Amino acid sequence: MRAPTPDGVAIIVLGPSAAELGYRLRQALPGARLHGPARHAGDWDERYEQASECIARLFAERRPILGICASGILIRSVAPLLCDKRAEPPVVALAEDGSAAVPLLGGHHGGNALARAVAALLGGVAAITTAGDLRLGLALEEPPRGWRIADPSQVKPVTAALLGGRPVALTEEVGGGEWLHAAALRWAAPPQAAGSCPEIVVTDRALAAADGRLVFHPPVLALGIGCERGCPAEEIAELAAQTLADSGLSPAAVAAIVSIELKLAEPGIHQMARQLGVPARFFSAARLLDETPRLTTRSEAVFRATGCWGVAEGAALAAAGPGGALVVGKRVSRRATCAVARAARPIEPEAIGRGRGSLAVIGIGPGAAEWRTPEASAALAQASDVVGYRLYLDLLGSVIAGKARHDGALGAEEARVRQALDLAATGRQVALVSSGDAGIYGLAALVFEMLDRGGAPGWDAIELRVCPGVSAMQAAAARAGAPLGHDFCAISLSDLMTPWEAIRGRLEAAAAADFVLALYNPRSARRAARLSEAAAILLRHRPPQTPVLIARNLGRDGERSQIIELRQLAAAPVDMLTLVLVGSRGTRRVAGERTWLYTPRGYFPSAPG
């Protein structure tokens, strides 16, 4: 069994000649992102100015790197950062014609697997150089997904023994070790020889560290948890730890924390899962009811509350499957229960029960990939479904390729939010997309408003987060210089949800207070006169020559911006794709190769107060 290809690979393309190969690999590798040069047009997920700086940054962030370039470029870029082979991400060099994939670093941490996957896809050769892979057919420090090594320091001496032709004992106490049989190894027989030679042990027991003994923990244990609502996370963690310790079982062999769907949003269960570094999975009451014949105890109180006779034992048995068995019956604390079942084969958490649905409300910035935050990009990569206004989803292009796409029409914001919440309530991993920042005239506020109204069934169990983005006023300010260097505010001129009288009052107050003013939604066909009225209000408080930035389609095709004077604003070519940034009385122009705007921070006598 080969180790899986690492997710989230950063594919580095140096120019147009490798672009098509980069596009193909991005489609084939899970979560891959394509990094291309800013000086060349291309469908890059992220653009860079200097390839070596980009590669070094990705390496420092521990991102798997696949460079479609010469090995030397990658080596020189990361050489100053090399310090710990156990923490370094995979780095693979790929020839532009796809003929050879060379793992340079992290071969046993996904590099060899990545090289093999790419070579198989392209019909090339994976130039594997690590001795274990070449002579043994496997790498002991790269076990299958979900497996854990009790003491990684024992990998080297055991591998050395195998490479030296010395016998190594193999003891399999639980199932799933077939990947170890795939190599042409000279195992010592019988297992009793373990005392006189190095030993590999496949077990779910907590074994004490010992020189010459390499212990693998396959994910064969399901840790079932039942609890009262709001049970402290500390109580659940203490009960689980004590249950495993008393039974001599290793936490490293736990594949998942499992419970009933009623506990989808129980914080203590999710905290326990994070503590062990495993998923939390949940079963319906009907599924747990099927496990009734295998329970050691049945509770009338639990049945009345949940519809099944036992949560901890039932969930553990459901996760372990028909061939599994209960190894620790129900243990009880004041507000929680715990049980452990062992599966006959390693458990694949994604194949059991359901996970908790999530909703990431994402601001993608103005649209350009370089203005999208890494957090937003990661959330998009993790999403199964993406919901948004069709123009914004089009801006994301290949970033959301292969995901379920749910387009919405302009003005149907509430329908989009409801759809995103409903999808997440079914267990999907959903990204709800806004342009700019989702919390600034975006969809985040509407999400919370709809939850505040009471919501729909399942919404209260969703894992929710908001990912910030570059707002239109930030993007416009950056293009112009630093006009937001002192106090500023933002006002939308749209009266669809705010009465014009309220907007007019805010304009008067902001103008009188001398804020730099960002005007969103400045003009539409239905509201053609509102911008003229806003300009008239501002002119009563500021000189007619006050600089105003008109910025349209920032970060997108057709971007343009110009600096005019306040007296010209009423007649300026402005629409709903435009942001208007009105300077304060202190905002200055700086002439040079181009004209810049800035608002002093107050350090000089001429600065605003």
Scored b (16 or more CB within 10 A) or e, 64-92 reads: bbbbbbebebbbebbeeeeeeeeebbbbb
Q: Which of 321-325, 412-416, 556-560 has the lowest mean pLDDT?
A: 556-560
Q: What is the 3-state secondary structure (H, E, C) of 98-160?
A: CCEEEEEECHHHCHHHHHHHHHHHHCCEECCCCHHHHHHCCCCCCCCCCCEECCHHHHHHHHH
pLDDT for position 187? 46
Q: What are the tens digits of pLDDT across the range 100-120?
A: 999 999 877 788 889 989 999
pLDDT for position 395? 84
Q: Which residues pair with 362 in a beta bridge?
A: 433, 467
Q: Which of 121-130, 261-270, 522-531 has the lowest mean pLDDT?
A: 522-531
Within 10 A of 559 (CB to CB), how many other CB atoms are there?
Answer: 15
pLDDT for position 5? 72
pLDDT band at 190 (very low <50, low <70, confident <90, very high): very low
SS3 content of the chain, % helix, strand, coil (to 5): 35, 25, 40
Name the residue with tokens 């730890």. 241
pLDDT for position 607? 46
Q: What are the tens digits of pLDDT across the range 18-56?
A: 999 999 999 888 888 899 998 898 888 888 989 999 999
CA distance 543 to 539: 6
Name the residue with tokens 């759809």. 419
CA distance 519 to 253: 57
Mean per-residue pLDDT over the chain, rounded: 90
Q: Please choose, from the candidates 13, 64, 45, 65, the residue with its C-alpha nearest in 3D space to the C-alpha of residue 370.
A: 45
167 and 187 in contact (C-beta within 8 Å)?
A: yes
Which residue type occupies 481? G
560 and 552 in contact (C-beta within 8 Å)?
A: yes
pLDDT for position 273? 97
Q: Two tokens at 583?
A: 């300077």
Taking the chain, what is the end-to-end CA distance rounded to the nearest angstrom? 69
CA distance 119 to 98: 7
CA distance 295 to 303: 13
Domains belonging to the chain, first-starting first, are: 10-129 (3.40.50.11220), 148-217 (no CATH), 221-351 (3.30.420.180), 358-470 (3.40.1010.10), 473-598 (3.30.950.10)
328 and 320 in contact (C-beta within 8 Å)?
A: no
CA distance 416 to 124: 45
In the predicted model, is pLDDT for residue 429 greater than 60?
yes
pLDDT for position 555? 78
45 and 369 in contact (C-beta within 8 Å)?
A: yes
pLDDT band at 455 (very low <50, low <70, confident <90, very high): confident
585 Cβ contact partners less than 8 Å away, ≥ 6 residues apart: 514, 542, 543, 546, 608
User: What distances in angstroms separate CA 5 from CA 56, 113, 114, 170, 429, one per listed residue?
Assistant: 21, 5, 5, 27, 21
CA distance 25 to 30: 9
Beta strands per DSSP E along 168-296: 168-172, 187-188, 199-202, 213-217, 221-227, 254-260, 280-283
pLDDT for position 184? 42
Q: Which residues pair with 35 in a beta bridge?
A: 12, 46
373 and 205 in contact (C-beta within 8 Å)?
A: no
Q: What are the tens digits of pLDDT across the range 274-305?
A: 999 999 999 999 999 999 999 999 999 999 99
Polymer length in residues for the chain: 609
Report the percent of the chain where pLDDT is more than 70.
94
Which residue type occupies 176? G
CA distance 542 to 553: 27
pLDDT for position 131? 60
Q: How many helices (H) and strands (E) does the chain have?
A: 19, 30
CA distance 33 to 11: 6
User: What distances in angstroms separate CA 102 from CA 34, 52, 266, 487, 569, one per listed residue?
Assistant: 19, 18, 46, 54, 59
pLDDT band at 189 (very low <50, low <70, confident <90, very high): very low
Q: What are the tens digits of pLDDT across the range 470-491?
A: 999 999 999 999 999 999 999 9
CA distance 432 to 443: 8
